[in-house]
């Protein structure tokens, strides 16, 4: 018989989880002007949230030893203390020294929301424990599913409702009001269980062996840790994999987390039908979709993105279902959730903190998929060894035959991939290999071996070779690949899906500006016009070093300063990987750190021209494209200086955003849409902004027949540090067209 208070506890858990996962993107958005938009920033934030969740679960586990009355008094007191930190505002910490971002980002987030997050994160296990205190209530585990539905709703509500409609200040106030509602619900929940024990006496009397003394061995705890760590780590590795090598768009960062939360809701549901069906289908998905986990060719298709997300969801549901099946009795509820959250924190720490230091590529992604394959539950329907009349000798013969078949199909699939054969033929062979893998599922090591073979056949050998040849560099801000194009006779630098520069290998062309900085590009035209507008000794500032290509537009007597956040980029120019800076501007000053923060330190009017070209793969540098950011650039420029911003982007229409900012700041603006004909240059869009109409006229005159055009009309308000929504500017036709 279910307690009449069940709706109250469901509402309390839903409200707490909704607020918990609404605050995560809200604080990340608050921190954006100081942290930038690199994928690892989000991963670092997720590790912080997992550690705080662990702290909250530990607090709930400690509190559960007391009766509900004492728990309620303590918890409400801590909620009141946490309320003193509201409304939420970003903590004031000094910016990190270069290379220390991996520690500074977590510290900033801990200082900003630590107390509130810990006390709210205790809601789910604590309310389940209170709910179970009534012997009429029944099993509390389904309430954890409600918790994750609330989390999922909160996560989606931010980009779809909160961010487009409210400023950050309004979001913080609205969240604080929601916190007040949650406190009220906790009061009513406490009244419903006032005076009861944390575990009802009836439950103790009913069991000959006291449920509170249920033994949980080390092996079972390690299983809980593994089953929770792998999906948690896979969540972050999928995020990095998507935003680095498939589809570099920050909006995707929220989707893996949403699917991860949804997997808990399904796995812990009272209705086991959906979870069991997904468990049955997951082994096939693991081999078929998992075979692409080592591909690093920057395919950039939505099909690949959907495959990676489906794989995360299936593995998370399957492992969380096994976790649910291995759950203890109600008396060990808070301990179970404590171990589970510890596993989540371990998986997150491995992906966000260990992997970037140990690996040169997202090797953690295929490693975690292989670990998931080893931990998958084995549905009886797929364990054909238990067929009636089948002896052990026959199953061993079948094992040998299947392994030979797997090797045969792998060899042919590798050849087809190498030769660039049709996708249909490759899919057919992959389907056969998947079938063999399913038959090998009863031998978990063999199943994982087939998955590894499929990964290597689909492109893993090439990815591994690139790492062995030392072509990759991994930093906190991204994964970079340097390689030589024998057809173009050039050396290239890519970051995920985006080309960041190339330099000809021909010594006679080594100083030639390439990619987005050619003679007909907007930045090329502006810098070429600098001597006529600002004199021979013009001061040029550049945000984003890249390969240093732009330095070869430098004229004698000019003073150049580069602002670069990633030390890896500086090393490429100083160690001779790319020779632009050494040959064209050896005396150029390099300022290491976040450009926006560093530009605030330079004297007013330091530059005649400032070029902003700082993208993380193809991600939007939102904190560099706000009203306040342009104000920082203006301050660094002379009164009639030129501000150039590179807005080439595959997924986001940035032109209307800059039009709105220009209008708000009373600036003149034009755009140069360049489609060059050179063999080493690529199309680019550069916007020029200035307070001087005469300067624009001079620039247009010096450009000759190469035209500068007015910007597209502004759409909505200008982006600010307090308000910016990406949704209205997404190029959906381009995204959906890549299915």
Between 435 and 148, the more confident residue is 435
Say how far apart CA 307 and CA 289 lie, in whole Å.
6
Verify that 633 and 527 share a domain, yes or no: yes
Residue 26 structural domain: 1-213
In this predicted structure, the answer to whether residue 583 has a pLDDT above a threshold of 60 is yes
Q: What's the pLDDT score for residue 213?
A: 60
Verify that 411 and 534 share a domain, yes or no: no
Q: What's the pLDDT score for residue 459?
A: 85
Instruction: Report, as an integer, the average pLDDT of 507-535.
Output: 93
In this predicted structure, the answer to whether residue 203 has a pLDDT above a threshold of 60 is no
Q: What's the pLDDT score for residue 316?
A: 96
Verify that 25 and 135 share a domain, yes or no: yes
Verify that 9 and 103 share a domain, yes or no: yes
Q: What's the pLDDT score for residue 128?
A: 86
Verify that 446 and 573 share a domain, yes or no: no
Say how far apart CA 31 and CA 390 lie, in whole Å.
62
Residues 6+ apart with CB under 8 A from 218: none
Q: What's the pLDDT score for residue 390?
A: 66
Spatial strand order of the sheet with 498-504 comes to 472-475, 478-485, 490-495, 498-504
In this predicted structure, the answer to whether residue 295 has a pLDDT above a threshold of 90 is no
Q: What's the pLDDT score for residue 293?
A: 87
- pLDDT tens digits, residue range 460-473? 888 888 888 888 88
Say how far apart CA 686 and CA 689 lie, in whole Å.
10
Say how far apart CA 95 and CA 681 lie, in whole Å.
36
How many residues are listed for the chain in this entry? 739
Instruction: Report, as an integer, the average pLDDT of 153-161.
Output: 84
Verify that 31 and 143 share a domain, yes or no: yes
Q: What's the pLDDT score for residue 101?
A: 65
In this predicted structure, the answer to whether residue 125 has a pLDDT above a threshold of 60 is yes
In this predicted structure, the answer to whether residue 502 has a pLDDT above a threshold of 70 is yes
Instruction: Report, as an integer, the average pLDDT of 705-710.
Output: 93
Which of 512, 602, 494, 508 has its CA nearest to residue 551? Answer: 512
Give the residue from 194, 213, 232 where a domain finishes. 213
Give the residue from 184, 213, 242 where a domain finishes. 213
Q: What's the pLDDT score for residue 42?
A: 67
Q: What's the pLDDT score for residue 269?
A: 84
Instruction: Report, as an integer, the average pLDDT of 702-709.
Output: 92
Q: Give the pLDDT band of residue 132 (cuts 50, 70, 90).
A: confident
Residues 6+ apart with CB under 8 A from 267: 145, 275, 316, 317, 320, 321, 323, 324
Average of per-residue pLDDT values in the chain: 85
In this predicted structure, the answer to whether residue 641 has a pLDDT above a threshold of 50 is yes
**Helix and strand numbers, DSSP H then E, in the chain:** 29, 12
Report how many domains make up the chain.
3
Least confident of 259-273, 361-375, 379-393: 379-393
Verify that 576 and 711 share a domain, yes or no: yes
Give the residue from 213, 241, 273 where a domain finishes. 213
Verify that 440 and 532 share a domain, yes or no: no
Verify that 670 and 612 share a domain, yes or no: yes
In a domain, 652, yes or no: yes
Spatial strand order of the sheet with 539-543 comes to 589-592, 559-564, 539-543, 607-612, 637-646, 684-690, 668-674, 709-710
Instruction: Report, as an integer, the average pLDDT of 111-140.
Output: 84
Q: Give the pLDDT band of residue 389 (cuts 50, 70, 90).
A: low
In this predicted structure, the answer to whether residue 631 has a pLDDT above a threshold of 80 is yes
Task: Supply φ then ψ for residue 579, to 5 degrees.
Answer: -100, 5
Verify that 463 and 531 share a domain, yes or no: no
In a domain, 291, yes or no: no
Between 181 and 619, the more confident residue is 181
Q: What's the pLDDT score for residue 208?
A: 38
């Amino acid at each position: 018989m279910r307690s009449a208070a069940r709706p109250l506890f469901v509402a309390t858990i839903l409200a707490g989880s909704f607020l918990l996962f609404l605050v995560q993107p809200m604080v990340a958005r608050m921190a954006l002007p100081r942290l930038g938009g690199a994928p690892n920033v989000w991963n670092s934030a997720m590790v912080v949230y997992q550690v705080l969740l662990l702290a909250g679960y530990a607090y709930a586990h400690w509190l559960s030893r007391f009766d509900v009355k004492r728990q309620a008094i303590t918890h409400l007191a801590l909620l009141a203390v946490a309320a003193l930190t509201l409304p939420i505002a970003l903590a004031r910490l000094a910016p990190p020294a270069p290379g220390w971002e991996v520690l500074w980002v977590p510290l900033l987030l801990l200082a900003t929301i630590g107390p509130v997050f810990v006390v709210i994160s205790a809601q789910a296990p604590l309310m389940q424990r209170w709910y179970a205190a009534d012997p009429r209530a029944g099993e509390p585990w389904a309430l954890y599913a409600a918790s994750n539905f609330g989390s999922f709703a909160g996560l989606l509500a931010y980009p779809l409702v909160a961010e487009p409609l409210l400023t950050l200040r309004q979001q913080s106030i609205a969240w604080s009001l929601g916190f007040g509602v949650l406190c009220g619900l906790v009061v009513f929940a406490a009244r419903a269980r006032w005076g009861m024990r944390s575990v009802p006496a009836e439950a103790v009397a009913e069991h000959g062996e006291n449920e509170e003394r249920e033994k949980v061995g080390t092996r079972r705890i390690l299983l809980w840790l593994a089953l929770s760590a792998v999906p948690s780590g896979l969540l972050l590795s999928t995020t990095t994999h998507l935003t680095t090598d498939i589809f570099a768009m920050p909006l995707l960062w929220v989707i893996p987390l949403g699917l991860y939360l949804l997997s808990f809701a399904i796995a812990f549901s009272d209705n086991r039908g959906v979870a069991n069906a997904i468990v049955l289908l997951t082994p096939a998905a693991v081999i078929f979709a998992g075979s692409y986990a080592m591909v690093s060719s920057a395919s950039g298709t939505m099909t690949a993105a959907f495959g990676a997300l489906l794989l995360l969801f299936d593995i998370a549901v399957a492992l969380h279902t096994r976790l649910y099946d291995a759950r203890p009795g109600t008396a060990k509820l808070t301990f179970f959730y404590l171990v589970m959250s510890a596993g989540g924190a371990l998986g997150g720490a491995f992906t966000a903190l260990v992997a970037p230091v140990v690996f040169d590529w997202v090797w953690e992604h295929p490693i975690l998929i292989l670990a998931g394959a080893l931990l998958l539950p084995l549905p009886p329907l797929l364990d054909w060894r238990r067929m009636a009349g089948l002896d052990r000798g026959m199953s061993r013969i079948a094992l040998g035959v299947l392994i030979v078949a797997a090797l045969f199909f792998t060899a042919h699939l590798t050849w087809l991939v190498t030769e660039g054969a049709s996708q249909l033929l490759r899919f057919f062979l992959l389907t056969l290999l998947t079938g063999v893998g399913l038959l090998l599922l009863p031998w978990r090591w063999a199943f994982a071996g087939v998955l590894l073979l499929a990964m290597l056949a689909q492109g893993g050998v090439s990815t591994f070779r690139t790492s062995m040849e030392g072509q990759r560099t991994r930093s906190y801000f991204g994964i970079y690949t340097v390689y030589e194009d024998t057809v173009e006779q050039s050396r290239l630098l890519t970051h995920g899906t985006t080309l960041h520069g190339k330099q000809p290998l021909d010594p006679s062309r080594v100083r030639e500006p390439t990619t987005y900085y050619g003679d007909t590009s907007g930045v090329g035209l502006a810098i070429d016009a600098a001597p006529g507008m600002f004199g021979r000794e013009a001061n040029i500032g550049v945000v984003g070093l890249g390969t240093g290509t732009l330095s070869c537009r430098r004229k004698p007597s000019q003073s150049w300063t580069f602002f670069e956040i990633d030390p890896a980029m500086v090393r490429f120019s100083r160690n001779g990987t790319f020779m632009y800076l050494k040959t064209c501007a050896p005396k150029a000053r390099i300022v290491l750190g976040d450009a926006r923060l560093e530009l605030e330190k330079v004297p007013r009017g330091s530059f005649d021209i400032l070029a902003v070209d700082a993208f993380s793969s193809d991600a939007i540098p939102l904190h560099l494209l706000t009203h306040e950011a342009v104000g920082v650039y203006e301050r660094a420029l002379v009164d009639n200086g030129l501000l150039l911003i590179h807005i080439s982007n595959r997924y986001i229409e940035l032109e209307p955003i800059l039009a709105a900012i220009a209008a708000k700041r009373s600036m003149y603006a034009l755009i140069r849409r360049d489609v060059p004909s050179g063999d080493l240059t690529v199309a680019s869009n550069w916007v020029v902004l200035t307070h001087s109409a005469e300067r624009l006229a001079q620039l247009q005159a010096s450009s000759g027949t190469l035209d500068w055009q007015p910007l597209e009309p502004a759409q909505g308000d200008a982006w600010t540090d307090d308000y910016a929504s990406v949704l209205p500017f997404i190029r959906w036709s381009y995204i959906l067209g890549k299915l």
